[in-house]
Structure 1
Amino acid sequence: MSSKRRNKKKKNSVLSAVVVIILAAVYLVWGKEDAEPTRSGLIPVELIKTIDGDTIKIKYEGKEQNVRYLLIDTPETSHPRLGKQPFGEKAKERNQELLNSGKLEIEFDIGEKYDKYNRLLAYIYIDGESVQEKLLEEGLARVAYVYPPNTRHLDAYEKAQERAKKAGIGIWTLEDYATDRGFDSDTYSITDKNTETNSKADAEESFKNCTELRKKYPNGVKKGHPAYSERMDGDKDGYACE
């Protein structure tokens, strides 16, 4: 065999080996059907302060800025008009607990980046896990303020909310408390502004008997209502003083 033919054969062998290596690398990166895509678009930030259940202050682009969580709403803790609402403190405490448990990152959607109060609008993550979804799943938030095109995670959030509803936990223990308009502060209010709240006892109302209760609720109240008491549910049907 001539040297020219041997060299050509050697080059073909090297080329074939290179092609095999490249194909193997491509398979490892894209070929596995169960490979999880890498999440992109998350921006590491520094937490400055937890304001309430759906608002925080962070350091972003060298300055401190407030961030309003996209697509969710939690009860108020110190609203100038609404005051303190049931589960407001619980939502704030849980939000702070989550934020202090790992690496904080934010994600923007494709729509407006700021609201009318000049707050950043973002999705919040701790170690890659959605804080919004967690609050919804634990019954401490409702899906709200849905303004397209900022709806990237709406489906997942609605599913998390539905799980909490079915479980009857958090805000969903209070009948008709969470509405499309917000949280019903007229029916479920906290009169003692100095009382820290963290459960449905936040909105507890106490009546001596059914006569007193019916003065405020003529048709009685269902189990889950803050005025409900088992001692006034004589037939144990889940409805007091009907």
Structure 2
Amino acid sequence: MAQRTSKKGKGKGSLSALIVAVLLAGAYYLFFQEEDTAPTRDGLIPVELVKTIDGDTIKIMYEGKETNVRYLLIDTPETHHPRLGKQPFGEEAKRRNQELMNSGKLEIEFDIGQKYDKYDRLLAYIYIDGESVQEKLLSEGLARVAYVYPPNTRHLDEYEKVQKEAKKKGIGIWTLEDYATDRGFDSGTYPVKGDTSSKTTAKQPVSTTTEQFANCTELRKVYPTGVKKGHPAYSERLDGDKDGMACEPR
């Protein structure tokens, strides 16, 4: 009789342990379904987009709250800066960033350095379906390599190579001579007159001719050295020799 009672007690203990294990597993599953912020094998963290702020900043849901994320190692022109205002290609960069954000699965990656900047924004590398958004913006001439603060430099070499190619092609921000500098974007040299934004695609990232002048005399009053093809003021009508440079000095 005593032997049978022992087996019965042992059976109850095993059943209780099984129930506890099932409950813990269920709680774990529910928690990570709601807060899926664990890094994947590649170190990428799936997140939910709240909105696109500009070319290099987004708002996401992270650890249960809305958080702004500043893209590591790149800088795009401003759209509504309190001091700098709207800069050339700022709207194009924002629109392209927004297109990318809405095109696939959003993930972020942290570097080994500081995780937040002085404005309490997360600092991260951004990916859509596993592809780098930073590299995409750099390759289309909509961003420059900037804000390099070691040790957050994991992808610096790749970014600089992509920027070099975009600069060589002379697209986007690189159509404006001395516009993108180590100090930022020289919008004083290239003030935005009206809306110079344009629809952009991966194959044709920048194309805008909304800043018009009657002739080269008028254009040179604003741009003494002329403008390259792709500049908001460029027009084939003012490019007499069809060399991709309108109203250059003779």
**Pairwise TM-score range, normalised by the shorter structure:** 0.7 to 0.9
Q: What is the match of residue 208 of structure 2?
A: 201
Q: What is the match of residue 226 of structure 2?
A: 221
Q: What is the match of residue 102 of structure 1?
A: 104
* Equivalence map 1:56-71=2 (5 Å): 56-71=58-73
- How far the C-alpha of 1:213 sits from its partner, in A, is 3.3
Counterpart amino acid of residue 221 in structure 2: K
Report if the CA contact (8 A) 1:173-1:200 is conserved: no
- How far the C-alpha of 1:217 sits from its partner, in A, is 4.2
Aligned residues with identical type, % of pairs: 79
Return 5+ residue gaps in structure 1 as ranges: 1-37
- SS of equivalent residue, structure 1 residue 201: coil
Provide the rounded CA distance (Å) in 2 between the counterparts of 1:44 and 1:126: 10
- How far the C-alpha of 1:164 sits from its partner, in A, is 1.2
Scaled by the length of structure 2, the TM-score of the pair is 0.73
- SS of equivalent residue, structure 2 residue 92: helix
Off by >6 Å, runs of 4+ in structure 1: none
Report if the CA contact (8 A) 1:174-1:200 is conserved: no
Counterpart amino acid of residue 53 in structure 1: G
Measured on the aligned residues, the alpha-carbon RMSD in Å equals: 2.2
Report if the CA contact (8 A) 2:93-2:137 is conserved: yes
Count of residues in Structure 1 that have an aligned counterpart in Structure 2: 201
Return 5+ residue gaps in structure 2 as ranges: 1-39, 199-205
Q: Does 1:124 align with 2:126?
A: yes
- How far the C-alpha of 1:75 sits from its partner, in A, is 1.0
Instruction: Give the structure with higher Rg (CA).
Output: 1
* Equivalence map 1:173-212=2 (5 Å): 173-192=175-194, 195=195, 197-198=197-198, 199-201=206-208, 204-212=210-218
- How far the C-alpha of 1:216 sits from its partner, in A, is 3.6
Provide the rounded CA distance (Å) in 1 between the counterparts of 2:180 and 2:191: 13
- SS of equivalent residue, structure 2 residue 60: strand
Q: What is the match of residue 240 of structure 1?
A: 247
- SS of equivalent residue, structure 1 residue 118: coil
Counterpart amino acid of residue 134 in structure 1: K
Report if the CA contact (8 A) 1:87-1:200 is conserved: no
- How far the C-alpha of 1:183 sits from its partner, in A, is 1.3
Q: What is the match of residue 21 of structure 1?
A: none
Provide the rounded CA distance (Å) in 2 between the counterparts of 1:142 and 1:206: 27
* Equivalence map 1:125-204=2 (5 Å): 125-192=127-194, 195=195, 197-198=197-198, 199-201=206-208, 204=210
CA gap 1:148/1:76 in 2 versus in 1, 3 angstroms: same
- SS of equivalent residue, structure 2 residue 80: coil
Provide the rounded CA distance (Å) in 1 between the counterparts of 2:179 and 2:143: 12
Deviations 1:4-59 (A, max 9, x none): xxxxxxxxxxxxxxxxxxxxxxxxxxxxxxxxxx9532111111111011000011
- SS of equivalent residue, structure 1 residue 96: helix
